[in-house]
Structure 1
Amino acid sequence: MKLVLAIAPDRFRDEELFVPQKAFADAGVETVIASTKTGTCEGMLGGAAEATTTFVEVAPEAYDGIVIAGGIGSQDFLWGNNDLIRLVQTFAKDGKVVAAICLSPVVLARAGVLKGKSATVFNSPASVSEIRRGGATLTDRDVVVDGKVVTANGPFASKAFAASVLSVLSPISP
């Protein structure tokens, strides 16, 4: 199993990357960090992560899903990133896991993968508006699983989010 962990190059939410990343590693799932650029990405709380690939360079066929961390940087760097939106669309079309936490479910909404699905998001006027515009049924639950789509509403849900992603991650048949 292998997942893409997508983060903003600046101001991603530390727990929303590091907590799931550890849970995935503990479960034997390989991860690769992708962003708008390679190199060091800075978290909101002072953590740093190395993006080894860009969204443009990710080959979706090599992965079982994509997990997008949130944080303030999500709105600035990810919501309107067409390369990330195309990746999300490809993963969803191929029936793979598509997951996002905090402000990042907006990327899923903009990619069209939340239409007709239940979802949650960090509650801000802009994020709620985007989720509704994307055709999702917005819930106030911390984590929502709808098929292969997993959404969570903030850093305090990071552990449950990771567990939910692992629960829907299934081997791709050879």
Structure 2
Amino acid sequence: MKLILAIAPDRFRDEELFVPQKACAEAGVETVIASTKTGTCEGMLGGAAEATVTFAEVAPETYDGIVIAGGIGSQDFLWGNNDLIGLVQAFAAEGKVVAAICLSPVVLARAGVLKGKKATVFNSPRSASEMKRGGATLTDDAVVVDGQVVTANGPFASEAFAAAVLSLLSP
């Protein structure tokens, strides 16, 4: 099993990357960090992560799913990134796991994969509007699984989010 962990190059939410990354490592799932650029990406809380590939370089057929960390950088760098939106669409079309936490479920909404699905997001007027525009049925749950799509509403849901993603990868 192999997952892409997608993050903003600046101001990703540390726990939303590191908690799922650790859970994957403990479960024997390989992870690759992708962003808009390769190199060091900075977290909101001072953590750093090395992106080894850009979104444009990811070949969806070589991965079992994509997990998108949130944070304030998501709105600035990920919401409108066409390469990332295309990846989400490709993973969803192949029935693979598509997961996003905090502000990043908006990427899924913009990719059109939340139409008619239950989902959650870090609730702000803009994020809620984007989710509804994308056809999502918003809930107040911390983590929502609908088919192969997992959404979570923020850093406090990181552990449950990681567990939900791993449960979908289990045969």
TM class, shorter-length: over 0.9
Match of 2:129 in 1: 129
Q: Distance in 1 between matches of 2:103 and 2:67?
A: 13
In the TM superposition, 1:131-170 aligns within 5 A as: 131-170=131-170
Q: Deviations over 1:45-83 (max 9, x none)?
A: 000000000000000000000000000000000000000
Secondary structure, counterpart of 1:135 in structure 2:
coil
Q: Distance in 1 between matches of 2:27 and 2:168?
A: 13
Match of 1:22 in 2: 22
Match of 1:48 in 2: 48
Q: Distance in 1 between matches of 2:114 and 2:58?
A: 22
Equivalent residues, number: 171
TM-score, with structure 2 as normaliser: 0.99
Match of 1:78 in 2: 78
Match of 2:37 in 1: 37
Match of 1:2 in 2: 2
Structure 1 48/69 Cα, relative in aligned 2: closer, same or farther at 3 Å?
same
Q: Distance in 1 between matches of 2:145 and 2:167?
A: 10
RMSD: 0.6
Quote the offset at 1:170 in angstroms.
4.0
Quote the offset at 1:169 in angstroms.
1.3
Match of 2:63 in 1: 63
Quote the offset at 1:18 in angstroms.
0.2
Structure 1 residue runs of 5 or longer lacking an equivalent are: none
Secondary structure, counterpart of 2:61 in structure 1:
helix
Secondary structure, counterpart of 1:33 in structure 2:
strand
Identity of aligned residues (%): 88
Q: Deviations over 1:108-127 (max 9, x none)?
A: 00000000000000010000
Q: Deviations over 1:123-173 (max 9, x none)?
A: 1000000000000100000000000000000000000000000011145xx
Secondary structure, counterpart of 2:86 in structure 1:
helix
Structure 2: which amino acid aligns with 1:24? C
Q: Distance in 2 between matches of 1:167 and 1:35?
A: 25
Q: Deviations over 1:84-121 (max 9, x none)?
A: 00000000000000000000000000000000000000
Q: Distance in 2 between matches of 1:62 and 1:167?
A: 20
Secondary structure, counterpart of 2:100 in structure 1:
strand
Q: Distance in 2 between matches of 1:29 and 1:110?
A: 28
